[in-house]
Amino acid sequence: MTKFEIQFSEKLPDDICKEIAKRACYCDVQIVSSAFDKPSKSLIIEIEKPELLESVKVKVNQLVDKMKSERLVVQPKVIKDRIRQDNSYHPNVYKMLCENGDIFKEGTGVIAKGGEFLNLLMTFDAFFEKLGILQYQAKPRTYSTLVPSDWLKRAGYFTSFAHSLTFAFHLVEDLEKLDAFAERHSDNQDLKLESIDEIATPEFCLSPAVCYHAYGALEGVKFDESDNGLKVFTAQGSCFRYESKNITDLDRLWEFSMREIIFVGEKEKVIASRKESMDIIWRLIEILDLTASIETASDPFFSTEFKSLRFFQLANELKYELNLFVSEEKSIAAASFNYHENFFGANFSISNTDGSEVHTGCAAFGLERLVYAVYAQIGYKKAMKRLQIASEELLGERA
């Protein structure tokens, strides 16, 4: 094991340095960890084999060159923030949940859930689903876990988020290759693929977000008068984003649950719905009494696209994230409120009654992260009690 360091320029903002550190582990399979060291303003990379240090260094430097930008340094903006009076935190939620059996680690970034953790997650999910239905007359949907690769291609996912993709592979229909595969594993061998030719080009990926399904399902649709300028859907699904060495206990999983409320239609109505949903969720945060903030944010774009897209997204305030603290120093993004302009309307040929391309937006909730932060801050019992109060105030439900 050996380490090397890449010094960032003093002018490079810390949030860009952190983003580079998160992407650096995708540069080479030898990288064991990558971290931004704030005091020395440097990227610290740890690799497995010292003899490969130089070749890994070249790759990481290439990535840094592509992502660093001392121009276009729009900073994330705090829209709202609050601190609870008793700002103490549970020291190790993950360990506690594993020990009491509520969480079971199946593998890296993959967990099974049960007990109170699952109950709280489902209660939050039901709250968001009802919010969609009662506030926006959202149509409930269930979407498949597999998403057509073609939809992700058209959504720009292959170019912007290649590092996060998870494919649904199967072996190619070929007797010789199938027999060879089975033979290779006849002695209870570990899974081994000998060549890319053994697998078929994947028609499907594992879904990285729920809303792509809504846009795909609306392909070619022209709204009519009965839509009143806005269609709203809500769905919950398993989402998959490969996080490489960034995977951590509960805040960065490979597979996680996402509830979305998806707005499709006229620009003003989509923007107003996104804003309203954000205000309602902030009221929920106040009722739960959580230390939190809402800030402008950008998606985890990769490599060459990072500079432009981050700049464009932040400057146009296309994404807001709800950050919940899990300790005094660390917060995690547990929800986002997104506006995509007419990007999906154009790429999926969805049009308003006047023929113009629809605009889209969504409120997306990362349920494991949300529940994790709630456990870290207030625990199960307070959360369940306050969620009931929130349901009465925000959804008009009686206990």
CB of 206 to another protein, least distance (A): 25
| Minimum CB distance to another protein, residue 43 (Å) | 22
Beta bridge partners of 235: 260
Q: Does 198 bind another protein (CB under 8 A)?
A: no
Q: How many residues bind another protein (CB under 8 A)?
A: 18
The answer to whether 217 contacts another protein (rule: CB under 8 A) is no
Q: What is the DSSP letter of 199?
A: B
Give the nearer residue to another protein in terms of CB position, either 83 or 315. 315
* Angle (CA) 43 252 274, round 5°: 105
Does 78 contact another protein by CB under 8 A? Answer: no
Q: Is 221 helix (H, G, I), strand (E, B) or coil?
A: coil
Structural contact between residues 149 and 204, judged by C-beta atoms closer than 8 angstroms = yes
Q: Whole-number minimum distance, CB 303 to another protein, in Å?
A: 11
Indicate the residue among 87 and 316 with the shorter CB distance to another protein. Answer: 316
Residue 71 as a binder of another protein (CB under 8 A): the answer is yes
Judged by DSSP in three states, 8 sits in coil
Segment near another protein (CB under 8 A), from 43-51, 65-73, 373-381, 385-393? 65-73
Sheet with 331-339: strands ordered across: 78-82, 292-296, 319-325, 331-339, 359-366, 255-265, 230-240, 139-140
Contact between 349 and another protein per CB under 8 A: no
Residue closer to another protein, measured from CB, 100 or 316 = 316
User: What angle do the packed helices 379-395 and 115-136 form, to 10 degrees?
Assistant: 10
* Tokens 């949300």 sit on residue: 370
72 counts as binding another protein under rule CB under 8 A: yes
Task: Quote the least distance from Cβ 263 to another protein, whole Å.
Answer: 16
Asked if 97 touches another protein (CB under 8 A), the answer is: no
Q: β-pairing, 139-140 with 230-240?
A: parallel
347 binds another protein (CB under 8 A): no
Interface with another protein includes 346 (CB under 8 A)?
Answer: yes
308 makes contact with another protein (CB under 8 A)? yes
φ/ψ (deg, to 5) at 226? -65, -20
Q: Token pair for residue 115?
A: 């007990």
**Burial of 183 (C-beta count, 10 Å sphere; 0-12/13-18/19+):** exposed
Q: Which of 55, 95, 316, 397 binds another protein (CB under 8 A)?
A: 316
Candidate residues 123, 312, 353, 388; the one interacting with another protein per rule CB under 8 A: 312
Residue 95 C-beta-side C-alpha neighbours within 13 Å: 3
- Tokens found for residue 166: 């998870």
Of 377, 250, 226, 304, the C-alpha closest to 66 is 304
**Does the protein bind another protein through residue 336 (CB under 8 A)?**
no
**Region of 72-80, 214-222, 287-295, 320-328 interacting with another protein (CB under 8 A):** 72-80
Binding site for another protein (CB under 8 A): 69, 71-74, 159, 305, 307-309, 311-313, 315-316, 341-342, 346
